[in-house]
Amino acid sequence: MNIVVDKQTVKQKQEQEFMNALNNADYKALVKKVKISKEDAKKNTIKLLDSVAELNNCKKCSNLYECQNKVSGYVYFPEIDDGSLRFTYIPCKYKKEANRRLMLKKTSESILDNARIKDIKITKNRTNIIKWIKDYYDNYDPYKTTKGLYLHGNFGTGKTFLLASLLNELKLKYHITTEIIYVPELLRKLKEDLNQVGDKIYYLENVDILLLDDIGAEKVTEWGRDEIIGTILQTRMNKGMPTFFTSNLNIEELEKNLSITKDSEDQVKAKRLIERIKFLTEDIELLGNNYREKDGN
């Protein structure tokens, strides 16, 4: 008898929850979109309302760091599977993009870690840079001060691969330390965890050969420009440590890009950083085909 009463109570409660939920336009829209039967909707009203709440959170969200859902980057969502209603966590558009970028990063890192000079494709537009790389490799002395390279040109021409192949060869031959840092990611990670700033700057100031990849692609802030990049370059300049750069911008375009931040325009500080780059490097332009659409080298 008690079991019957309990079931009846549950049924009445579900009916009331369902009737109340029908006043919610988003609830009704979700039920209709997923094609949930009335009976299933009644039994799962609370779960469906949770989904509605998370979907509404997504509407107001502009990046992963603003996510208000229970599982960051995912939304609790209903779906019909073989005639049965079930709930699962599906990634939002920002999480999908983050996953895509992570896969690309892993693939790119694997390619760069294994880059060798013998794998460089020789093309007419690469004549100058290949000659420069060969000369640098042949004449490199870890005990002497040498200038690095500011390699710029259009997107996807293999700039990073070319310099990574040189750094890998030098690392193998001389057992030196090298580091390739994607500048936008460096600044983003340091901003997320300010506690690591000191140690990271110290490491990048002192690694034997440093490649700052894709400088100019980052969102310019005074902090990133002056306190992070500027500090690293000043120390490496003082110590005469080889420093390399890749960019889609030539040096004049980079200076203009670095002069404008969200809150102000400061041509003097931008010029100061550019002078450090000029002191540390030679300048070569690389134009050509987009090798990223193929195999990256």
Is residue 201 a contact partner of residue 233, using CB atoms and an 8 Å limit? no
Is residue 280 a contact partner of residue 236, using CB atoms and an 8 Å limit? yes
Worst-scoring range by mean pLDDT, 11-15, 81-85, 105-109, 133-137? 105-109
Query: Global pTM?
Result: 0.67
Distances (CA, A) of 32 to 25, 38, 48, 78: 11, 10, 12, 12
**Quick one: pLDDT band at residue 110, thresholds 50, 70, 90?**
confident
| pLDDT value of residue 289 | 66
Render pLDDT for 42-71 as a digit per residue (tens, 0 to 9): 999 999 999 999 999 999 998 887 899 999
Worst-scoring range by mean pLDDT, 15-29, 72-86, 97-111, 138-152? 97-111
The token duo for 39 is 């009976």
| pLDDT value of residue 1 | 41
* Radius of gyration of the chain measured on its C-alpha atoms: 28
Q: What whole-number distance in Å separates Cα of residue 149 and Cα of residue 238?
A: 17
Render pLDDT for 259-281 as a digit per residue (tens, 0 to 9): 987 666 788 999 999 999 999 99
DSSP 8-state assignment for residue 156: T
In a 3-state reduction of DSSP, which class is residue 263?
Answer: coil
What superfamily in CATH does domain 114-293 come from? P-loop containing nucleotide triphosphate hydrolases (3.40.50.300)
List, by residue range, all CATH 3.40.50.300 domains of the chain.
114-293
Q: What whole-number distance in Å separates Cα of residue 211 and Cα of residue 209?
A: 7
